[in-house]
Amino acid sequence: MKIAIVATEASADFLGFKLIDVLKKRNKNLKLFGIGGQLMESTGFNSFVSIDNFNTIGIAEVFFRIPKFLRILKVIEKKIRDEDPDLIITIDSPSFSYRLVKKLQDLRKKNVKFFHYVAPTVWAWKKYRAKIFSQLYDKMFTLFKFENKYFVEHNLESHFVGHQIFFDKKVLKKKRVITFLPGSRNIEIKNNLLKLKSVIINTTNEYSDYSIYILTFEHSKSMVKRILKNINVKIITNFDEKQNILSNSYLAIAASGSISLELCKYQVPSIIVYNTHIITRILIKLFVNVRYASIINIHFDKEIIPEYLFEKFTYNNLIKEIAVLLKNKKKREKQIEFMKKFSNQMLLKKKNPAEIISDYII
């Protein structure tokens, strides 16, 4: 059996890695190819292009790079056709994924099936995408229970599988560690880190008895080093080392994104930040239908983790919040209590999501 898997961002690379691990244990003769990052490639997965080509996020930022994405789309379409897969699985990256799958619909004549893993956030904005995905895919695997209804409404077979992050959960004793996580793609890392720089300097000076870490990716390491030149911090890119540091952290300051789920998993009191292009910012404010950026805040419909987005993302706001979460035991315990509740709801009967999905493949 030949399976094309397309994962164009770091969080999808992790999900793809876990899925491949289960698939290979079940059938060593599978041929797996497509797009993936370092984790997926570590399994022997054949990635057609580097995941670094997708280091853009935000409406305006993507708009300025449309010609590049169209070229990549054409290359990947051809390579998938050349490999003649039996099944195509796209993971997250909804805008890229559905455009690729749309171009490959004629492969249905060869009985090729199309699965998508990680539902587009139609509950937050672009609700019309539920209908588009339902027309293009055979199955949808969702991370959150409430998502299925948006796709079932359009007759797409949808299955809640839970979030892989919460499987193999371990919570380690906290150490005197403060962690900064500026994002996963170069453009957002740069945007966030330039605003965080003064906060990081203040933190290293004010809390010299803490170890300060910047958790990033190999493709961004040189840029992070350049921005934080001569600042006493440790920059970490190794996946296992990052997981260990994160689980030990006493406080994390993180860019909005799936990392907030990992912080919940490890019960790390946190602050969420985000900065982006002014055009993207305006469009988000106009069209996004949810009050919060973090899924835990959306889930409980209140601010469990403090969010400092766009104009609120300031030096003064952050240094005040950092001081509160380092010193105020009640504030810390409140976050941890809700993180525990949230984590317990993120799996389907404590099953491995990759195993659930594999049941529909093999």
Tens digits of residue pLDDT in 264-289: 999 999 999 998 877 776 766 666 66
Q: How much is the pLDDT for 34?
A: 97
Is the same domain home to 24 and 137?
yes
Is residue 56 included in any domain, yes or no? yes
Q: How much is the pLDDT for 60?
A: 44
Is residue 172 included in any domain, yes or no? no
Those residues whose C-beta lies under 8 Å from the C-beta of residue 302, and which sit 6 or more positions away, are none
Tokens of 346: 């993120």
Is the same domain home to 71 and 181?
no
Is the same domain home to 82 and 48?
yes
DSSP letters for 200-267: HHHHHHHTTTSEEEEE--GGGHHHHHHHTTT---EEE--HHHHHHHHHH-SEEEEESSTHHHHHHHTT
Is the same domain home to 132 and 211?
no
Is residue 60 included in any domain, yes or no? yes
Is residue 360 included in any domain, yes or no? no
Is the same domain home to 187 and 283?
yes
Q: How much is the pLDDT for 59?
A: 46
The boundaries of the domain holding residue 292 are: 177-344
- What's 347's DSSP letter? B
Q: How much is the pLDDT for 278?
A: 74
Is the same domain home to 255 and 315?
yes
Is the same domain home to 227 and 100?
no
Q: Compute the 3-state secondary structure of the chain and give helix, strand, coil in percent, each to the nearest 5.
A: 50, 15, 30
Q: CATH number for the domain including 89?
A: 3.40.50.2000
Is the same domain home to 273 and 214?
yes
CA distance linking residue 186 with residue 206, whole number of Å: 28
Q: How much is the pLDDT for 172?
A: 74
CA distance linking residue 311 with residue 199, whole number of Å: 16
Q: What is the mean pLDDT of each run of 10 residues along the chain (362 residues)?
A: 94 96 95 95 93 61 63 93 97 93 97 97 87 97 94 97 88 90 90 95 96 94 95 94 95 93 95 84 68 89 94 96 96 96 92 97 92
Is residue 216 included in any domain, yes or no? yes
Is the same domain home to 17 and 144?
yes
Is the same domain home to 182 and 60?
no
Is residue 362 included in any domain, yes or no? no
Is residue 241 included in any domain, yes or no? yes
pLDDT tens per residue across span 294-342: 989 999 999 999 999 988 999 999 999 999 999 999 999 999 999 999 9
pLDDT tens per residue across span 205-235: 999 999 999 999 998 999 999 999 999 899 9
Is the same domain home to 17 and 75?
yes
CA distance linking residue 200 with residue 210, whole number of Å: 12
> pTM (2 decimals)?
0.83
The domain tally of the chain equals 2
Is the same domain home to 67 and 135?
yes
Is residue 170 included in any domain, yes or no? no
